[in-house]
Amino acid sequence: MRFLGLALVLLIALIQNPLWFGKGGLLRVHELDRQVEAQRDTNVKLAARNAMLDAEVLDLKQGYDAIEERARSELGMVKQDEVFFQLLQPSRAPTAYSPDKR
């Protein structure tokens, strides 16, 4: 009788092996679920970035204010008949060494 019980336990263990460790086993399913969650997080971040880029493209296509702002800030452009003033901070000139001063 013990032999029959041991054989049945061994048979159940053999049947359970593919369920836990096989190609479509629970461990593999858990790993795939983790990968899917990581990819979903990445997709959410990329979708937010794409939405910002879409808004910027739409603004550049429809509004001249954004184009003018970029031209002024990145290219240093000014409008026609506009006066541009550039204020420079006075730099400290190095003082010469004078042997009379101590």
> What are the average pLDDT values for consecutive 10-residue runs of the chain, which has 102 residues?
87 81 81 96 97 89 80 80 80 66 54
- Closest C-alpha among 70, 74, 51 to residue 60: 70
pLDDT attached to residue 66: 76
pLDDT attached to residue 99: 65
Phi/psi at 95 (5° precision): -80, 140
Q: pTM of the predicted model, to two decimals? A: 0.47
pLDDT attached to residue 38: 97
Question: Rounded CA gap, 23 and 17, in Å?
Answer: 11
Tokens of 69: 């702002």
